[in-house]
């Protein structure tokens, strides 16, 4: 290198008298001021712009922290560094110190999500697996703590260096919050805001130890496994259809109408579809009747069907008052006692109206030994 090159290099390595950082990126969280073998000049200017904080580090120890503004670097505004350096009476010579600029603006639209399903016990579906995702926003609340705990000696730290750890925190707290809330899976969509606030509150101690503040956390979606969603869709479809028998009749009529419009080769297909729908209707009716009979509110729930070969029980109108039901033995005893005559009104299940006991074939034997009433004179 010639004499002119050496002079040029010397001039380039002159003492630094302006310390600043012009951020030309969107993801830098911490930037260490570059000073290759240079020293900071006594009385140099420190420029900290809005959305920045400058942290001075002396031999690995956090010294002074500067908020936005312009400063003249001397012992008056570097009290901690002056103490560490032993500048009791001020200093006039250059000094060396690491200067870290920390980006304190908000970083928004950061993504989070569950890498694996979360197992929960739902009050309606039982054990279920849920997935969730959303966004959050964060900013640096304590620049000194961030430099000490995260940045270390890195010359540049981007937001990507923190998002994985924060996402793990969110997923962990999300699982705990969801289990504690005991909100049914079908009601989660109405409680996204509440869940986001609960998780953000639980996150404060976890991220605060790194000098980070979680300003916003949004839950965008919580989903069930595909097979469970398909079952729910089928259940919803049945609710929309309503009466399965009427729906089957409608489908049958539609198939027959289509067959009538195509008297050619498609007629057989239409008739086949109609027969299929008819069979489905019969099955649906049988299933509906069986379910109605078994249901707590069904018409047969209070009175089970009679045992095979058992005699029917009759209700009897005695002195204008309904009595019974009575079995055959009781009816015979009342006939012998004269409480029931041929003209006494009786009724049993399946009859449309009350009729005289003497006209019932089932009761004719009870009156065989009893003479009929005398004819009117």
Average pLDDT along the chain, 377 residues, taken 10 residues at a time: 51 67 89 76 89 88 90 79 65 76 93 87 84 92 90 82 87 83 83 86 87 91 83 73 68 76 58 54 56 51 49 78 82 81 82 81 72 64
Say how many C-beta atoms besides its own lie within 10 A of residue 54's C-beta: 24
Note if the pTM is more than 0.75.
no
- Give the side-chain half-sphere CA count within 13 A for 308: 0
Q: Which of 215, 191, 188 is nearest to 203 (CA)?
A: 215
Say how many C-beta atoms besides its own lie within 10 A of residue 298's C-beta: 13
- Say what the pLDDT of residue 287 is: 54
- The DSSP result for 349-365, as a single string, is TT-SS-EEGGG-GGGGG
Please state, in angstroms and rounded to a whole number, the distance separating the CA atoms of residues 65 and 95.
17
**Domain map of the chain by residue range?**
3-103, 107-225, 243-286, 314-367
Residues 6+ apart with CB under 8 A from 258: 266, 270
Please state, in angstroms and rounded to a whole number, the distance separating the CA atoms of residues 15 and 38.
6
How is residue 15 annotated by DSSP?
Answer: P
Q: How far is CA 104 from CA 139, 156, 210, in A?
A: 6, 15, 13
**Largest Cα span, the chain:** 161
Please state, in angstroms and rounded to a whole number, the distance separating the CA atoms of residues 73 and 90.
11
Residues 6+ apart with CB under 8 A from 177: 195, 198, 199, 202
3-state helix, strand, coil in the chain (%, to 5): 40, 25, 35
- Say what the pLDDT of residue 277 is: 53
Three-state secondary structure call for residue 217: strand
Q: How far is CA 158 from CA 32, 54, 151, 344, in A?
A: 12, 16, 10, 99
107-225 homologous superfamily:
Band 7 domain (3.30.479.30)
**The pair of three-digit structure tokens given for residue 11, joined into one six-digit string:** 């001039």
How is residue 307 annotated by DSSP?
Answer: P
Residue 137: strand pairing partners = 216
Please state, in angstroms and rounded to a whole number, the distance separating the CA atoms of residues 43 and 59.
21
**End-to-end Cα spacing for the chain:** 157
**The pair of three-digit structure tokens given for residue 32, joined into one six-digit string:** 């260490």
- Estimate to the nearest angstrom the gap between the alpha carbon of 267 and the chain centroid: 49
Sheet holding 321-326, edge to edge: 321-326, 314-318, 345-347, 355-356
- Say what the pLDDT of residue 252 is: 78
């Amino acid at each position: 290198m010639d004499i002119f090159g050496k002079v040029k290099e010397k001039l380039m390595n002159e003492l630094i008298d302006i310390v600043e950082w012009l951020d030309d990126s969107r993801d830098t969280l911490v930037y260490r001021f570059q000073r290759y073998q240079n020293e900071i000049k006594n009385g140099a200017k420190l420029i900290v712009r809005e959305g920045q904080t400058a942290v001075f580090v002396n031999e690995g120890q956090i010294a002074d922290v500067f908020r936005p503004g312009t400063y003249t670097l001397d012992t008056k505004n570097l009290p901690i560094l002056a103490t560490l350096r032993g500048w009791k009476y001020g200093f006039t010579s250059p000094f060396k110190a690491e200067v870290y600029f920390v980006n304190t603006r908000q970083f928004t639209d950061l993504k989070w999500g569950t890498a694996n399903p979360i197992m929960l016990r739902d009050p309606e579906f039982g054990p279920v697996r849920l997935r969730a995702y959303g966004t959050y926003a964060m900013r640096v609340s304590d620049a000194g703590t961030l430099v000490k705990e995260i940045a270390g000696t890195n010359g540049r730290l981007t937001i990507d260096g923190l998002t994985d750890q924060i996402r793990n925190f969110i997923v962990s707290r999300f699982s705990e919050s969801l289990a504690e809330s005991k909100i049914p899976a079908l009601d989660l969509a109405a409680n996204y805001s509440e869940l986001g606030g609960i998780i953000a509150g639980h996150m404060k101690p976890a991220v605060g130890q790194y000098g980070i503040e979680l300003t916003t956390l949004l839950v965008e979606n919580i989903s069930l496994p595909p097979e469970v969603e398909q079952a729910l869709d089928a259940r919803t479809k049945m609710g929309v259809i309503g009466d399965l028998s009427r729906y089957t009749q409608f489908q049958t009529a539609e198939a027959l109408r289509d067959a009538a419009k195509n008297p050619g080769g498609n007629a057989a297909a239409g008739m086949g579809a109609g027969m299929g729908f008819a069979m489905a209707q019969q099955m649906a009716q049988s299933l509906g009747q069986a379910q109605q009979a078994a249901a707590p509110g069904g018409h047969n729930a209070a009175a089970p069907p009679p045992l095979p070969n058992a005699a029917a029980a009759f209700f009897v109108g005695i002195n204008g008052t309904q009595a019974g039901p009575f079995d055959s033995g009781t009816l015979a005893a009342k006939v012998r006692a004269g409480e029931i005559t041929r003209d006494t009104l009786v009724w049993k299940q399946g009859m449309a109206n009350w009729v005289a006991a003497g006209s019932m074939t089932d009761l004719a034997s009870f009156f065989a030994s009893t003479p009929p009433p005398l004819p009117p004179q």
